[in-house]
Chains A and B, each alone.
Chain A
């Protein structure tokens, strides 16, 4: 998410608590209340009209209440429009990844055409040129490994980290990143493997300068500089769109993204295959690595949220789902370090929306142990009616209109499905209507049907 112009914040911008004693002295509840206040009255936002300012406050209040298990004026709705704006505006993902004006046009069209409760700026549309500058290998995107008309970018699962590299990661994650991981996932930075450990700069460390003189290492730095310049151009446009949305009265709901340590290792380091082998062959190393990654995930998440002025963070959860591992494996390998990250964010006054991709039917009683009102659970394929029964008194429930219905069904069918969801899950508050996953194309009338449903069936009296 693009960083807003700097202004004084009550919380420490570095994410390090010790730098601000007053903030550190607050309880988690007080911190959350501070953060929610700032979400409600964002400093330095000039609303385009008094009406826009009022609508903004109404919308934030609607989400804030639902997220904290209260009854808002009506059920809020998050439209599943992550990358949808591109096809909606008659262009495609490939084009908007390379043409920021087109990106802006598409995203503003979506903003103005739906009277949604929240708005997702194009921060999830990466700059194709920035990725190309560093020859990113972790992802394929339209026109780069996938055909130009593909509507999504996709991660390439591989053993980006080898099984015998756990100690290197655990001993010094930054060093492992710089000299081992980055040379693998960024083709242009391959020569960074020749860099010395930065801690070798001690006294007159002449030899430590040496590899910085190599042409291939210098080319790597040039590539990074180019990616940086390109990203500044991109961020200016994303920031502009975000500002327009805020001024028009549409709040953001994604203050940042964070991941469970098991997923960080399983998605982009060891790969699914690798991490599952490690569960048998080197469980102690795996645990130690997750413990090492957890504080990094926490600090990164807090920084993101502080910069965005939205107290809510999204955590997409992958490899702990029902079909990926047994309940016992979940409790042993996935839950402990994940819970640590979640609780650290909660204690900082941040409200995580935990997005359980796939299904979590066999996890409901485990995840129930998080404190009341501290998190929201966003379900994809989980039996959401049962989830409401089990979790309804402890966490806000978000979800889960099937994406298949949104893409192939009629507006009437979508609206009817939403009505059922609202009637059951919306009971007593603490519910947000959303789709199981984002859609990339399909009839806009099906998205309008979701908005119609919350307005018609979701009003609390």
Chain B
């Protein structure tokens, strides 16, 4: 059953997934196993997205499916939250003066299904908040998102704030979104530009040393 459950989720069969979730809960199965299967299903979704088979609508819809499954399973959990092993920490956020988050959330999703422990600071994030998050989490990777041209300067200022705080050398910084490209990467003195969420995953993997 688990295998077909994983596939049903990956194939986004809403009704079947929900029915089967209920059946598994009713039969007294370990809720953690159901969640683990959901995670596997999402991994496949992420892979299909990376392969160009799935697009944003499928990503959004799978996220909603997962939310529904989690809501069904949660009341049956005994409280022992088993920590899933994470590949490493990444902090992401949209820079100051910019409130766009579609791209940011795709990156969040893709890093998450690839096993990273993601701290998403949201939108319009001031430079000092990025600095604080990098200090608090000790994450080795920072992803800066921006859609509009004012983000060019905000990215530059964020990188400079990390320099000033003396932690720039501990952090690898990637940028992406809307009007960003390698020119902006140079301008902002970031380490890499990623053209999509898959690039964010491979950069994080490369920098953290995960295969």
Cβ-defined contact, A326 with B179, below 8 A: no
The answer to whether A152 has its CB under 8 Å from any CB of chain B is yes
A window 393-416: CB within 8 A of B: 402-405, 407-409
Cβ-defined contact, B56 with A280, below 8 A: no
Cβ-defined contact, A405 with B183, below 8 A: yes
| A45: min CB distance to chain B, Å | 34
- Cα(A405)–Cα(B187), bound, Å: 10
- Cα(A140)–Cα(B148), bound, Å: 14
| A413: min CB distance to chain B, Å | 9
Binds A, one of B24-32, B75-83, B94-102, B200-208: B94-102
Answer whether A409 and B14 are a contact pair too, CB < 8 Å, given A276-B61, A325-B55, A440-B149.
no
| A417: min CB distance to chain B, Å | 11
With both beta carbons as reference points, the residue of chain B lying nearest to A272 in the complex is identified as B102
With both beta carbons as reference points, the residue of chain B lying nearest to A154 in the complex is identified as B99
With both beta carbons as reference points, the residue of chain B lying nearest to A140 in the complex is identified as B99
Interface string of B26-60 (1 = CB under 8 A from A): 00000000000000000000000000001111001
| B61: min CB distance to chain A, Å | 5
B interface, by DSSP: helix, strand, loop or mixed? loop
Interface string of A133-157 (1 = CB under 8 A from B): 0000000100001110011101011
With both beta carbons as reference points, the residue of chain A lying nearest to B101 in the complex is identified as A157
Contacting B152 at CB < 8 Å: which of A146, A156, A280, A404? A404
- Set of chain B residues within 8 Å of A323, measured between Cβ atoms: 55-56, 196
Cβ-defined contact, A151 with B150, below 8 A: yes
- Set of chain B residues within 8 Å of A329, measured between Cβ atoms: 55, 57
Cβ-defined contact, B179 with A403, below 8 A: yes
Cβ-defined contact, A150 with B150, below 8 A: yes
Cβ-defined contact, A280 with B99, below 8 A: no
Answer whether A280 and B97 are a contact pair too, CB < 8 Å, given A151-B150, A404-B183, A440-B150.
no
With both beta carbons as reference points, the residue of chain B lying nearest to A278 in the complex is identified as B57
Cβ-defined contact, B61 with A408, below 8 A: no
The answer to whether B191 has its CB under 8 Å from any CB of chain A is no
Of the candidates B98, B148, B196, the one having the most CB atoms from chain A within 10 angstroms of its own CB is B148
Cβ-defined contact, A324 with B55, below 8 A: yes
- Cα(A281)–Cα(B183), bound, Å: 41
Interface string of B174-206 (1 = CB under 8 A from A): 000001110110110000000010000000000
Interface string of B158-186 (1 = CB under 8 A from A): 00000000000000000000011101101
Cβ-defined contact, A404 with B181, below 8 A: yes
With both beta carbons as reference points, the residue of chain A lying nearest to B60 in the complex is identified as A276
- Cα(A24)–Cα(B100), bound, Å: 44
The answer to whether B64 has its CB under 8 Å from any CB of chain A is yes
| B161: min CB distance to chain A, Å | 15
- Cα(A323)–Cα(B110), bound, Å: 14
| A273: min CB distance to chain B, Å | 6
Cβ-defined contact, A280 with B183, below 8 A: no
| A185: min CB distance to chain B, Å | 16
The answer to whether B131 has its CB under 8 Å from any CB of chain A is no
Cβ-defined contact, B61 with A280, below 8 A: yes
Cβ-defined contact, A277 with B149, below 8 A: no
The answer to whether B144 has its CB under 8 Å from any CB of chain A is no
The answer to whether A437 has its CB under 8 Å from any CB of chain B is yes
The answer to whether A299 has its CB under 8 Å from any CB of chain B is no
With both beta carbons as reference points, the residue of chain A lying nearest to B100 in the complex is identified as A154
- Cα(A326)–Cα(B55), bound, Å: 6
Contacting B12 at CB < 8 Å: which of A154, A280, A324? A280
For the side of the interface on B, what is the size category?
Answer: 20 to 34
- Cα(A154)–Cα(B102), bound, Å: 14
| B195: min CB distance to chain A, Å | 9
- Cα(A438)–Cα(B149), bound, Å: 8
Of the candidates A147, A151, A279, A404, the one having the most CB atoms from chain B within 10 angstroms of its own CB is A404
- Set of chain B residues within 8 Å of A277, measured between Cβ atoms: 60-61, 64
With both beta carbons as reference points, the residue of chain A lying nearest to B154 in the complex is identified as A150
With both beta carbons as reference points, the residue of chain A lying nearest to B65 in the complex is identified as A280
The answer to whether A439 has its CB under 8 Å from any CB of chain B is yes
- Cα(A439)–Cα(B152), bound, Å: 11
Answer whether A409 and B149 are a contact pair too, CB < 8 Å, given A272-B102, A276-B61.
no
The answer to whether B117 has its CB under 8 Å from any CB of chain A is no
Contacting A147 at CB < 8 Å: which of B64, B97, B180, B187? B97
Contacting A408 at CB < 8 Å: which of B60, B64, B97, B186? B186
Answer whether A404 and B56 are a contact pair too, CB < 8 Å, given A150-B150, A152-B148, A437-B149.
no
Answer whether A402 and B148 are a contact pair too, CB < 8 Å, given A146-B97, A408-B187.
no
The answer to whether A426 has its CB under 8 Å from any CB of chain B is no
- Set of chain B residues within 8 Å of A407, measured between Cβ atoms: 149, 152, 187
- Set of chain A residues within 8 Å of B56, measured between Cβ atoms: 272, 276, 323-325
- Cα(A323)–Cα(B199), bound, Å: 14
The answer to whether A436 has its CB under 8 Å from any CB of chain B is yes
- Cα(A140)–Cα(B111), bound, Å: 29
Interface string of B83-107 (1 = CB under 8 A from A): 0000000000000111111100000
Cβ-defined contact, A402 with B181, below 8 A: yes
- Set of chain B residues within 8 Å of A441, measured between Cβ atoms: 149-150
- Cα(A277)–Cα(B102), bound, Å: 14
Answer whether A150 and B97 are a contact pair too, CB < 8 Å, given A276-B56, A276-B60.
yes
With both beta carbons as reference points, the residue of chain A lying nearest to B52 in the complex is identified as A326
Besides the known contacts A151-B150, A152-B148, A403-B149, 7 further A-B residue pairs in the complex with CB atoms under 8 A apart: A146-B124, A147-B96, A272-B102, A279-B61, A281-B14, A408-B186, A440-B149
Q: 7 shortest A-B CB distances, which residue pairs?
A: A404-B183, A276-B57, A276-B60, A150-B97, A408-B187, A326-B55, A404-B184
Chain A interfacial positions (CB closer than 8 Å to B): 140, 145-147, 150-152, 154, 156-157, 272-273, 276-277, 279-281, 323-326, 329, 402-405, 407-409, 436-441
21 A-B contacts, Cβ less than 8 Å apart?
Answer: A140-B99, A146-B99, A147-B96, A151-B149, A152-B150, A154-B98, A156-B99, A157-B101, A276-B56, A276-B61, A277-B64, A280-B57, A280-B61, A323-B56, A326-B55, A326-B57, A402-B181, A403-B149, A404-B180, A437-B179, A440-B150
